[in-house]
Amino acid sequence: MTTIIGTIRKNRTQTITLAALILSFLLAIQGMETGDWIITILRGLSVAAVTFLVASGFSLIFGLMDVLNLAHGTLFMIGAYVGWTAYVRPDTLLDLATPAALFFAGLLLLPLWDRWLSRVRLAPQAARGLPWLALALGVGALAFGFARYPITGWDVTVYDKSPVVFGVQLDLGQLDLPAPAIVGAEQLGVSMLCLFAGGGLIALGLTLLESRNRIAAATTRVPWRALLLALGLALGGLALFAWNDALTAFLVAAGTTWRFLIAVIVATLVGAGLGALMESTLIRPLYTRPIYQLMLTLGLGVIGREVVIALWGRTQMQMPKPALFNTIGQGCPAQTIFDALANQCSTISFMGSRIRTYNEIFIFIVGVIVLIVVWLLLQRTRIGMIIRAGVQDRAMVEALGINVRQVFTFVFALGVGLAALGGVLAGPSMGVSDDMGESLLLSALIALAIGGLTSFPGAAAGSLLVGLLQQFIVKYGQIGIALPFLEQPFKPTPPLVPASTLLLMVIILLALPNGLFGRKE
């Protein structure tokens, strides 16, 4: 008991702020009918979950590496687009899998080059030019090979074949996939070889670049594991190609629920890969000039968005909900969650209001699962321990002999992967559009500022507050608030939704400059 009072006394401002928040929450509930506030809270939780997925990744990256990743919103959006592709167009996904596998198999030759380089001495002139030559050749081979590889996709310029149309078709249950493109065996062989060689050349370029900064020779054991993995990847890619048609048919027949699961996994992995790539190539040279990271991530954000517009077109696309959450007919709306799962209902009726199973329940549950998994990762694993230590004192972690560069790449991959996961989850509820990332990044930033920029529980608490506040304002915009001294009930206009969260952020930051859970520095 005394310890509780002691804690409260020590954190007086925190306590007052929390009490004020709870009080205003109760007041907000008071002004509504029971069904209304339940649905509002559920919606708030769902928005909070998506915000949390973006915010937590952002905060991990900022905490460990001090990088404000302004491209995070764009990466969230890319997650949605990639997920959409895996979900609506499984044939395109499979077509792309083979080139990707071949390219990564080539990249995995990196340790082999490393070994080779440790035996060769390059003249200084060669050491300056060669890496760039190898990189340029690699990118060239990649582009050459990719352009010649048969991929069945869509055509943004033709309405019948645009991504929008495929989304609508799937929603109506009449998805009509185009016939696969066919090319000659010779072209195919050249293309595959180029893709593999491109990966290998890029790996060579990277090794050469890296070797300029190294003084002592590296270890010289034959990297069997990497080579076996490369072989496996290449064979896997070829197998995917051989059974492409059968696999496509299988995926189409598997139904939207399974495909959605695949989409979630693919989007998360692609996001993680993009994050790792960004960190290891572009962000890494900039740790010594942090301000320019802002410009870099801004530039990358713009590039990403433009690439998405070029590939998928400018209009908003539909991403139908998976079948598990999309039936209206018999037995729906369900009375309990189990009924909903059994009948695959899209809604549950609860206290007189209808709750959407996907939007209000599924997204929130995924958010909670991610919260728990990442929390366990941080608290229970060695890498989590290193991350927690590194957030406080990066230099000391290095001085203990821990290769922080690998940890940085891992955390970047994790953070971006979480954002991409948020994107694909938000797809069916928010719709997929090229501007979906911006407002969410702002919400996430506000949530982080409220919770404490580098605190993981803070990210969760901040997202919760932002989500709830937004949804309460939206709801009050519909039903109006009865205020004293006003004849008419006051209806908040839509611009007040972002304004309210911003005001909450300013107030909380002025009361607690490090946020609710932040630590004084």
The site for another protein (CB under 8 A) is made up of 68, 213-216, 282, 285-286, 289, 291-292, 294-296, 298-303, 305-307, 310, 382, 385-386, 388-389, 391-393, 395-405, 442, 445-446, 449, 453, 493, 495-496, 498-499, 502-503, 505-506, 509-510, 513-514, 519
Nearer to another protein, 42 or 450 (CB): 450
- Least separation in angstroms between residue 210's CB and another protein is 11
Whole-number CA gyration radius for the chain: 26
The two three-digit tokens of residue 181, written as one number: 């493109």
Q: In terms of C-beta density within 10 A (0-12 exposed, 13-18 middle, 19 or more buried), how is residue 260 classed? A: buried
CA dist., res. 33 & res. 22, Å (int): 18
Q: What are the distances in angstroms from CA 429 to CA 177, 250, 360, 502?
A: 24, 26, 9, 24
Q: What are the distances in angstroms from CA 461 to CA 18, 142, 167, 314, 507?
A: 11, 45, 35, 35, 16
- Least separation in angstroms between residue 509's CB and another protein is 5
CA dist., res. 374 & res. 422, Å (int): 14
Residues 6+ apart with CB under 8 A from 3: none
The two three-digit tokens of residue 382, written as one number: 């060695």
- Least separation in angstroms between residue 176's CB and another protein is 30
Nearer to another protein, 90 or 304 (CB): 304
Nearer to another protein, 175 or 402 (CB): 402
Nearer to another protein, 4 or 215 (CB): 215
AA identity, residue 361: I
The rounded Cα 411 to chain-centroid distance in angstroms is 13
Least Cα distance to 444 among 5, 146, 59, 97 occurs for: 59
The two three-digit tokens of residue 128, written as one number: 């300056």
- Least separation in angstroms between residue 476's CB and another protein is 17
Nearer to another protein, 73 or 106 (CB): 73
Nearer to another protein, 119 or 520 (CB): 520
- Least separation in angstroms between residue 203's CB and another protein is 20
Backbone CA torsion sign across 484, 488, 489, 495: negative
Nearer to another protein, 11 or 187 (CB): 11
- Least separation in angstroms between residue 405's CB and another protein is 8
Q: Give me the residues paired with residue 490 across strands.
A: 481
- Least separation in angstroms between residue 518's CB and another protein is 9
- Least separation in angstroms between residue 286's CB and another protein is 7
The two three-digit tokens of residue 492, written as one number: 């908040």
Nearer to another protein, 232 or 513 (CB): 513
